[in-house]
Amino acid sequence: MNDESYEHPRLDQLEVAMKAMKAIDVSQVPAGLVRGVSPAMRQASQRRAWRTQILRGATAATIVLALLGAAALMMRTGPAQAFAEVTQRVEATKTVRVVVVDPREGGTLLSSGKRMRFERDGAVVSTK
């Protein structure tokens, strides 16, 4: 080591930085800095708020769709499915003849397109 290093010791870089920071007057922030930072901070806050709203909306929509799907599955009972299958078969044919077995209103139903005919105990009801 040379003699100069003993006469003028170098300060640690951290100490130099601390002294420089303490020397800065922060009592007044430049107006341009405040004007430039404020809109950016406001926009960032608004973006966060919108993201939160979108996430909440998407979550609510997912829950509603799941509940509607569950309700639709519960409503598809066996008799409803059987009736839908019979209706599809009737639509696929030109004429269908059905024997209605009901203690109160048993009889024979004949359907062709929009025409229907119901026969029971010698009585006939026809619609067009």
Q: In the chain, what are the domain boundaries?
A: 1-75, 77-128
Structure tokens, 42 = 């406001």
Q: How confident is the prediction along the chain (128 residues), in pLDDT tens digits per residue?
A: 455 555 555 667 888 888 888 887 777 767 777 677 777 778 888 899 999 999 999 999 999 999 998 888 777 776 777 777 887 877 777 676 676 666 677 777 777 777 777 787 777 777 77
CB atoms within 10 A of CB 114: 7
pTM of the model: 0.34
Between the alpha carbon of residue 96 and those of residues 37, 41, 58, 104, 113, the distances in Å are 79, 73, 48, 22, 9
Contact indicator for 109, 124 with CB cutoff of 8 Å: no
Contact indicator for 109, 100 with CB cutoff of 8 Å: yes
Classified as helix, coil or strand, 58 is helix
Task: Return the CA Rg of the chain.
Answer: 43
CB atoms within 10 A of CB 118: 17
